[in-house]
Amino acid sequence: MPASQSRARARDRNNILNRAEFQSLNHPLKGTQESRRRQNSQSGPSPAPNEGGAKEQRTPQQPLPDEDCMQLNPSFKGIAYNSLLAIDISLSKRLGVCASNASAWGNARSMINLIGLTGHGIPWIGGTLICLVKSSTLAGQEVLLNLLLALFLDIVIIAGLQKMAKRKGPFDVSPGLLDYFTMDVYAFPAGHASRAAMVSKFFLSHLVLAVPLRILLVLWAFLVGLSRIMVGRHHVTDVLSGFAFGYLQFRLVELLWMSSNTCQMLISMW
């Protein structure tokens, strides 16, 4: 009797394990083997061990590029610089009302370009050479020859600074043919603004002018710099730095001032 009861209990247990909800318990090893086989197929074949039982050296993880890394603690200097740069770009784009014919003041683009042309290096160098040839006084030749020296220094210094900075303008405005002649291709610093500031300061220091003419001369230099912002060639900081470099160039010319005898010797050689 006990043997028949044990056989019945075993039969009932087998019937319970054969149910659908207990099928996963019948073959546990088979499931684990399949999962391991899948993991091995995804990871690929394991590398062979090195000879002599040496442990394999793992390559260090490649660092993320700087642009993908988040600076959690930016410096105050970086925040201030980025803020000023954003203000400069935004203000320059707002003032670029003549950047193209479709801009707000697109109809006045030709007139604004004409104002900027008055600060270009080619007209000033050509006009200075013509006045130097026609000048008959020693004082006039001295002033004109030093002005010619200042104009050439301005082209060399500004072209070198622009080549080092390589800053583009706020708008995609290609430089003109005359700009390539004077190497005024990039935006920082503004060559027209530096030249206008230097020439105006030069005339104010070495020419006797009435008060209205002195005011007009300063206003002309300001309008030349503003015109370069309006046509979209320079940022506001480019023009302001151009004014600063123009003043520094004037001080440099004052230190390198050529005397009347030196000017006469150069003119005789020419």
pLDDT digits (tens, 9 = 90+) for 191-222: 999 999 999 999 999 998 999 999 999 999 99
Give the N- to C-terminal CA distance of the chain in Å, as an integer. Answer: 139
Whether the upstream peptide bond of residue 189 has omega within 30° of 0, thus cis, is yes
Q: Percent of the chain having pLDDT more than 90?
A: 46
- Determine whether 188 is exposed, middle or buried from the number of CB atoms within 10 Å of its CB (0-12, 13-18, 19+): buried
Whole-prediction pTM value? 0.70
pLDDT digits (tens, 9 = 90+) for 111-169: 999 999 999 999 999 999 999 999 889 999 999 999 999 999 999 999 999 999 999 88
pLDDT score recorded for residue 99? 86
> CA torsion sign, 150 to 257 to 130 to 269?
negative
Q: If you average pLDDT over residues 16-41, what whole number do you get?
A: 53
Task: Give the single-character DSSP code of 105.
Answer: T
For tokens 């940022």, the residue is 235
Q: If you average pLDDT over residues 34-50, what whole number do you get?
A: 55
Longest dimension (CA), the chain: 146
29 pLDDT higher than 50: no
How would residue 179 be classed by pLDDT, with cut points 50, 70 and 90?
Answer: confident
pLDDT digits (tens, 9 = 90+) for 47-88: 554 544 444 455 555 655 554 455 556 687 888 888 888 999
Confirm if 181 and 161 have CB atoms less than 8 A apart: no
Q: If you average pLDDT over residues 160-181, what whole number do you get?
A: 85
pLDDT score recorded for residue 53? 47
Give the residue numbers annotated as catalytic, written as ranges.
Answer: 192, 234
